[in-house]
Every structure is written in structure tokens, then in C-alpha cells.
């Protein structure tokens, strides 16, 4: 990943900008601002089934950003080429644009069951129709939990990893698919996933994303928003100069035998330099095959994923040798997170449950159905 400085105010980007950034990584001269620190608009914590995509261009651009991410798509291409043998039955959970299903066909799959809950599946059908392998793919426009298949699969593949690994519901989706669709001795891609956390100093980012809300904007008091934003997870790019300690491997999940969807990723850190603690940065490292990993960690090749920033309510000055204790919990199959941070006699209890206004749970469309 290109090293970036956290020295200037981050830029808020749209999905289209995000696509341009990926292009700019390939042709750096095209977009000089793409080298600046970035806040990625639209947390991937809301990605996956249920995400609100109102316009088809949202689907096209979202999937474009993943398709042109060679770190991601190239790793899956290699993993599928290694795992899928001619004659295999493959299940693609969350097929999106269809790319992984097409790669499985190219590897010789006898049949691919391609499952997708969102309307992007129509894009996959359109593309499949351009190829001779179209008759080897059956598309299911539904959530995988609701799909029944006529046969068991030799390989189940899914790319439903969020910025912090689990927030797109991969544990629930993959374990359900494992139990109902996988043949004895079959292969899961990925077969395991680890989470990493590190304490970080991010003064500019914190000022921009959190403390912006305490100042009046156009003369109006937006201060209630601050309590929401410190209870949200923010995707961002950062470099190792922001670290206040060594990264910790906080959790390891083996999809081959995990039986729960909740994560307890507790860890502790020894501070390695003086600074201000603004929160934690997190990322995942997934094993696609025994020989192939993919990660959005700060030392890895650039990808469309940023890292996940978990802010604390107030910055705390820390000295070399201080200890930071972290309790990190997920609920709702990765859709909600709580992070408690204890440092120098301070304790912060942040949670995505506190990250949206109460009215979000009382939407008129939901009330009407009751």
C-alpha cells in the first residue's frame, strides 16, 4: 500500500471518486489528490444484503470498484483456479456481478449455483448470457438462508468481507452454506479469517470526522451528531506512522468449524511511543486457500477496502509503556459492534447501537406493516 500522511484534512469521497482512486493508483499522475489521506464515504458496515441501493448506477459503480481491484479479484481468481477441479459443483454466495461464478466456470466447474440477494444479479445474468458457459450457472435471486439447492457442492466461494471482516455477515452466510450445501470433504473459500487491531493517533482525521460537529455550521448547532459519529466505524486509509503500539491478532475464525456468529476480539497493547490515542484501527486477513491470503492490512497491497477506524469518545495522552485494554464484541452476525477501551484510568464504551438516531428504528414503512 502506498504510504500516506495523516497530516492534512481528509477528503470525503463518493463511490465514483473511489473508483477514480483505484484508477489513479494504476496511473498515479491522473489524480494527484488521490495520494492524500482519505475518508471513504459510505461505511462498508452497511454493505451486504439489506444495504440501500436506490439507483442501478450504485450497483454498477459499487461492483466496478471491486472488479477493478486486482488485489481482491486477482486473489480470488488464483484461489478458484487452485480449488475448483473440472466437474466440480460450486456455490457462489453473494455472486454480485457474477465474477466468481464465471471464474469457477473457467476453472471447469460442471455447475455453479450463484446466489445473490440484490438486483445486481440481473447484471450477472446479462453478462453470463454472453458466454457459452451460461447453461452451467443457475442464478438464485434471494438471500442464501432462503435458498434450497438440488445438490451438494465441492466448493463454496464467497467474497463477503467487510472492512473489519465480518460486518457483511460472512460468518452466518458461510456457516449456513457449509452446513446445508457443502459435500463431505468439500472446500470453503475463504476457510478462515483473522482480525487485527492497533491503537492509533489520528488528530486530523478525528478533528475532521468527530470534532467537526462541536463547531457551529453556518451558525447552526450540530453538536448532537458528535455522539453518533464516535459510535460509528469509519473506513479510512492510514499509514503505520499513526500506530501507538504493535498490532494485535484479536480474533481467528475458522469457517470450517465455527458454530457461532458473535465475535469476542479482546486484546491489550503496550504503548510504544508518546502520543494521543484517538481510537483503534482494524483490518482482516483471510486465508482463501492454504497457500493464498488476502488482507486489507496497512502493510498489504492496496485494495478497495480501507481500514476500519473505531474512535473513542475523547482523545487521551499516552506515554511509552502505558497499557491499553480493549474489549471488542460483535452482534447481529457482524452488523453491530461494541468497543470498550480502558487506558490511564479512563474507560470508553462505544457501540454502533448508539451510532444512529432513535427514529431510524421507527420508520413509517416498518410501522405500516405491523
Residue ranges in contact with ligand SAM by CB under 6 A: 48-49, 66, 93-97, 99-100, 115-118, 120, 143-144, 159-160, 168-169, 173
Pick the closer one to ligand SAM by CB: 122 or 327: 122
In the bound state, the residue with its beta carbon closest to ligand SAM is 94
What is the residue-wise DSSP string for 54-107?
Answer: -SHHHHHHHHHHHHT-HHHHHHHHHHHHHH--TT-EEEEET-TTSHHHHHHHHT
Least distance to ligand SAM from the beta carbon of 93, Å?
6
Pick the closer one to ligand SAM by CB: 39 or 99: 99
Radius of gyration of the chain (CA): 21
What is the residue-wise DSSP string for 269-288?
Answer: EE--S-EEEEEEEEEEEEEE
Query: Which residue do the cell numbers 456455490 mark?
Result: 91
**In angstroms, how far is CA 234 from the centroid of its own chain?**
11
Three-class DSSP category at 353: helix
Least distance to ligand SAM from the beta carbon of 261, Å?
12
Least distance to ligand SAM from the beta carbon of 99, Å?
4
Least distance to ligand SAM from the beta carbon of 353, Å?
22
Asked if omega into 212 is within 30° of 0 (cis), the reply is no
Least distance to ligand SAM from the beta carbon of 49, Å?
5
Pick the closer one to ligand SAM by CB: 308 or 341: 308
Least distance to ligand SAM from the beta carbon of 359, Å?
26
Q: Are 73 and 96 in contact (CB under 8 A)?
A: no
| Distance in angstroms (rounded) separating the CA atoms of residues 344 and 339 | 17
Pick the closer one to ligand SAM by CB: 144 or 232: 144
Pick the closer one to ligand SAM by CB: 38 or 65: 65
Q: Find, among 265, 299, 291, 221, the residue nearest to 3 by Cα.
A: 299
Least distance to ligand SAM from the beta carbon of 141, Å?
9
Three-class DSSP category at 50: coil
Task: Decide the pairing of beta strands 336-343 and 323-331.
Answer: antiparallel
Pick the closer one to ligand SAM by CB: 31 or 68: 68
Pick the closer one to ligand SAM by CB: 95 or 316: 95
For the chain, the straight-line distance linking the first and the last C-alpha, in angstroms and rounded, comes to: 49
| Distance in angstroms (rounded) separating the CA atoms of residues 15 and 185 | 40
Amino acid at each position: 500500500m502506498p504510504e500516506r500522511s495523516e497530516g492534512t484534512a481528509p477528503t470525503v469521497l463518493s463511490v465514483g471518486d473511489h473508483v477514480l482512486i483505484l484508477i489513479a493508483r494504476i496511473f498515479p499522475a491522473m489524480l494527484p489528490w488521490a495520494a492524500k489521506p482519505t475518508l471513504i464515504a459510505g461505511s462498508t458496515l452497511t454493505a451486504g444484503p439489506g444495504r440501500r441501493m436506490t439507483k442501478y448506477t450504485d450497483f454498477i459503480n459499487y461492483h466496478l470498484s471491486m472488479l477493478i481491484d486486482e488485489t481482491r479479484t486477482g486473489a480470488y481468481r488464483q484461489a478458484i483456479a487452485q480449488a475448483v477441479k473440472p466437474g466440480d459443483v460450486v456455490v457462489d454466495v453473494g455472486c454480485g456481478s457474477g465474477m466468481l461464478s464465471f471464474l469457477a466456470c473457467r476453472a471447469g466447474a460442471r455447475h455453479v449455483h450463484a446466489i445473490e440477494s440484490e438486483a445486481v444479479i440481473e447484471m450477472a445474468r446479462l453478462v453470463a448470457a454472453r458466454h457459452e458457459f451460461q447453461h452451467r450457472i443457475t442464478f438464485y435471486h434471494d438471500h442464501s438462508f432462503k435458498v434450497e439447492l438440488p445438490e451438494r457442492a465441492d466448493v463454496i466461494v464467497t467474497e463477503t468481507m467487510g472492512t473489519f471482516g465480518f460486518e457483511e455477515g460472512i460468518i452466518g452466510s458461510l456457516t449456513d452454506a457449509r452446513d446445508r450445501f457443502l459435500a463431505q470433504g468439500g472446500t470453503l473459500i475463504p476457510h478462515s479469517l483473522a482480525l487485527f487491531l492497533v491503537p492509533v493517533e489520528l488528530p486530523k482525521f478525528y478533528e475532521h470526522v468527530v470534532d467537526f460537529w462541536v463547531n457551529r455550521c453556518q451558525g447552526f448547532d450540530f453538536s448532537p451528531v458528535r455522539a453518533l459519529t464516535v459510535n460509528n466505524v469509519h473506513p479510512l486509509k492510514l499509514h503505520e506512522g499513526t500506530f501507538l503500539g504493535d498490532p494485535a491478532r484479536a480474533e481467528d475464525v475458522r469457517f470450517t468449524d465455527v458454530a457461532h456468529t458473535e465475535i469476542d476480539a479482546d486484546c491489550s497493547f503496550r504503548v510504544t511511543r508518546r502520543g494521543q490515542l484517538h481510537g483503534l484501527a482494524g483490518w482482516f486477513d483471510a486465508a482463501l486457500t492454504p497457500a493464498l491470503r488476502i488482507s486489507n492490512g496497512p502493510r498489504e497491497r492496496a485494495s478497495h477496502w480501507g481500514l476500519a477506524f473505531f474512535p473513542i469518545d475523547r482523545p487521551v495522552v499516552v506515554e511509552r509503556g502505558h497499557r491499553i485494554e480493549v474489549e471488542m464484541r460483535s452482534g447481529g452476525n457482524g452488523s453491530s459492534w461494541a468497543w470498550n477501551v480502558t487506558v490511564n484510568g479512563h474507560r470508553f464504551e462505544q457501540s454502533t447501537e448508539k451510532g444512529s438516531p432513535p427514529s431510524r428504528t421507527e420508520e413509517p414503512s416498518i410501522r405500516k406493516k405491523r
